[in-house]
Structure 1
Amino acid sequence: MTYNPGRAATVFLFSVQPLGVHVTLYTEDNNFYDYYKRQLAYVILPDGSCLNKLLIREGYAKPEAEYYCKMLLEYERINFATQQARQGLYALAPLF
């Protein structure tokens, strides 16, 4: 069986945030949608933690400088540490 990184990220996401549990979304003033018309937001979990930060720290997401956000520098710092530690998808490839 081959490893499916998208599936691994989805399994991780649902382990952290099961379907049906309410979250809070915060958006930036100037970047509401990406190129594909997907809504961009900070996802705050019921315990107050930020899902965006958690996904980056665990290696299942990475920040995109193309879409500015207030947290970009912190997200890039976390992503660099995650990449160095070969967490999540970085265990499979140095870049994704």
Structure 2
Amino acid sequence: MTRKIILKVKRFVDGDGLIAEDYYSKREFEIRLYGIDAPEMSYCAKIKKDEKELHLPAALLIKLGYMSFEFLKSNLIIGESCTLIQEENSLSDKYGRLLGYIVLNDGRVLNEIMIKEGFAKPYNDVFCEMLPMYQEWNLQAKIDLKGLYSIVNKF
């Protein structure tokens, strides 16, 4: 079972999140792109953890985070409408952000674009029906040295 919400893009948060407004109710909320993870854009606890696990310097990870952010922004325009599709089992994360797939006006799914083009990796801390496909597409992006994989072999 899925749930759909028509949105208007208000602003971008990072490489896997944005602020949008419900097209009808005008309620504003933060959306976390479901099933994907992009590098952080600031020095924080997660960057410290990633730095240790990946053996990559925080400055490089932050640079990658900004590259992911710019790629996300190149696929959506502030004020543009899009559709949020949610899986009923996981509507929001522990921070209260709505989880979902962003469907662009041309029918493409932003989450998939981010993975296929190498600007995000699969995120498996929350159940996601698309995770097996995301893992497959991520491996192909890595093999093809797409996006962030043109700089590093893990992030």
TM-score bracket, shorter-length normalisation: 0.7 to 0.9
Measured on the aligned residues, the alpha-carbon RMSD in Å equals 1.7
Decide which structure has greater strand share. Answer: 2
Deviation at 1:35, TM superposition (A): 3.7
Find the partner of 1:18 among 70, 73, 77. Answer: 77
- Percent identity at matched positions? 36
Paired residues in the alignment total 95
Counterparts of residues 56-95 of structure 1 (less than 5 Å): 56-95=115-154
Residue 23 of structure 1 aligns to a residue whose secondary structure is strand
- Alpha-carbon distance in structure 2 between the residues aligned to 1:94 and 1:34: 28
Compute the TM-score of the two structures, normalised by the length of structure 1: 0.86
Point out where structure 2 has 5 or more consecutive residues left out of the alignment. 1-58
Q: Following the alignment from structure 1 to structure 2, what is the Cα–Cα distance between the partners of residues 88 and 37?
A: 29
Larger helix proportion of the pair: 1
Report the more deviating stretch, 30-39 or 16-25: 30-39
Query: Segments of 4+ in structure 1 off by > 4 A?
Result: none
Q: Rg bigger for which structure?
A: 2
- Would the alpha carbon gap of residues 86 and 36 (structure 1) be closer, same or farther in structure 2, given more than 3 Å must change? farther
Structure with the larger RCO, 1 or 2 (CA within 8 Å, 6+ apart):
2
- Secondary structure at the residue paired with 1:69? coil
Name stretches of at least 5 consecutive residues in structure 1 with no aligned partner: none
